[in-house]
Amino acid sequence: MTIRAMTPEERLRFGFWRDQASDLMPYLSPILFKFRPIVTDEVDSFAVDEGLRCYVNTERVKDWSPKLLATALLHECGHVWSEHAARARELGVSGSQQHQDWNAGADMAINDDLLDAGLTEIKDFLLPSLISQPNHQEAEHYYGVIRAKRAAQQKQQAPQQQSGQPAQDAPGNGGDQPDSTDEGQQDSTTNGSNGEQSPQDYTGCGSVSGNGAPCELPDDGGALGAESKAASVADVSDTLDQVAYEIEKHVRVHGRGSIPGGLSDFMDNRLEPPKVPWRTELSSFVRRTIHVGGRGRRSTNRPNRRRNNITLGGQRVIVPGTVKPVLRIALIRDTSGSMSVEDLQMVGNEVEGVARAVGIKGPNLLVIDVDSHAHPPRPYAGAATLNIVQGRGGTDMSAGLAVAGELSPAPTLVIVCTDGITGWPNDEPPFPVVGCFIGKASERYAKGAPHWMHTVVVED
């Protein structure tokens, strides 16, 4: 068993494979050019660890075509991009057989995307059809099917083994399910292929797929030194961010259909801003707004009592005093037919809890129910106020904001609870507004909210 750095000639060849792969799927280039190649005969063909070291059995792949080599590298990129190692840990995958099964399921989730990208070289790779499943499912789905098939096979074989009859062999490479002893051999190291392999070979895609190879180096590069040092967790995360932006740019120019669905789905997840629990976000915004609005303003209607004897040129000067405004919140509730009473009560109770924490009650917390028009404002007087829902017709939150604008005194903050299926005023109101978006399409409608509104997506 050997493991060594690549020679200059091998690096040149590896660079050619990588360039080919980059031409085929350019948006994966940030991963491709982060790979640090290492030669070993302890893998079947290719494997990658979580530090993005790429282990290559150069002897085994010397007769592969350039496009097949490029496709194999892109397959490994798929494991990196889909974060299969982290997902395996989240799923609790453990033990050699489970890791092989997970690797096989992850391979299937990658290879159908490669097929969509026109890479027909994957004809010998593991595909969902091998286990009679449709394309474009998650790795977790294929893993579950493989595990279920394996359990059913073992249950079927048990009576035969007890009776002394030879157990039936699993269908093998071209069959309906991976064999309990040969499945790892079916799953070629980088490409999930069904190619011919030696029984002693490690067969998996490396720890980047959740199925670590025995040859993987320590983070510092071990005997191979700093040139083989692992990429840090932060480096890998930055690389994935770069891929997400490259995919987004590609989609913008060529359309979403130019990217395999699995890759674009992960782009959406990667570019989505980290979610803050909505209750925390709403509470923070209310407190921040009230803190700013609650600072005293200067007014000559209330002279400064400590500085009431100041004169200038013989004339008495009235120094403005500080007037601390009373805090008032108007809660506008969308009571159209598309809103459930439970959702309205849930959000209303949370808002009331925040308001109560800062000492607002009675007429300083007004509830305005709005469907196609605004109903009369009601002072909050306990849970019963929120249990009374007026409306259940159409939707026009502009009417509610108009009523809030006519309140005297004016509200410090207006909170609108809606599913977002409504129009909004063209002009920015004279008070801060936070929109609590509720329902299945809440996130989509929140993106279309006016620029002057702070949005909070309410999730169960």
| Residue 450 domain-assigned (yes or no) | yes
Q: Are residues 209 and 157 in the same domain?
A: yes
Q: What is the largest CA-CA distance in the chain?
A: 119
Residue 223 is predicted with a pLDDT of 92
**Tokens describing residue 295:** 């600072």
Q: Are residues 241 and 288 in the same domain?
A: no
Beta bridge partners of 315: 312
Are the C-beta atoms of 171 and 13 separated by less than 8 Å?
A: no
| Residue 396 domain-assigned (yes or no) | yes
Sign, CA torsion 307/309/313/317: positive
Sheet with 53-56, strands from edge to edge, namely: 3-5, 36-40, 53-56, 46-48
Q: Are residues 242 and 289 in the same domain?
A: no
pLDDT digits (tens, 9 = 90+) for 380-394: 877 667 677 777 777
Count: domains in the chain: 2
Residue 300 is predicted with a pLDDT of 52
CA distance 428 to 374: 18
| Residue 303 domain-assigned (yes or no) | no
Residue with tokens 């929120």: 386
Q: How far is CA 103 from each of CA 144, 193, 198, rounded to the nearest angstrom? A: 12, 12, 18
Strand 53-56, strand 36-40: pairing: parallel
Q: Are residues 60 and 100 in the same domain?
A: yes
| Residue 111 domain-assigned (yes or no) | yes
Model's pTM, two decimal places? Answer: 0.57
Total residue length of the chain: 460
Mean pLDDT by groups of 10 residues along the chain of 460 residues: 93 96 96 97 95 96 95 96 92 92 95 90 84 91 93 81 48 32 35 43 88 94 93 90 90 84 74 60 69 49 54 55 66 83 69 67 86 88 72 82 92 88 88 86 83 83
Residues 6+ apart with CB under 8 A from 60: 41, 44, 45
Q: Are residues 51 and 145 in the same domain?
A: yes
Q: Are residues 216 and 247 in the same domain?
A: yes
**CATH number of 335's domain:** 3.40.50
Residues 6+ apart with CB under 8 A from 95: none
| Residue 358 domain-assigned (yes or no) | yes
139-162 and 84-91 helices, crossing angle to 10°: 50
Q: Are residues 7 and 97 in the same domain?
A: yes
CA distance 387 to 390: 10
Rama region for 200: left / alpha / beta (φ>0; ψ in -120 to 50; rest): alpha
Q: Are residues 226 and 362 in the same domain?
A: no
- For 191, the domain range is 3-161+171-271
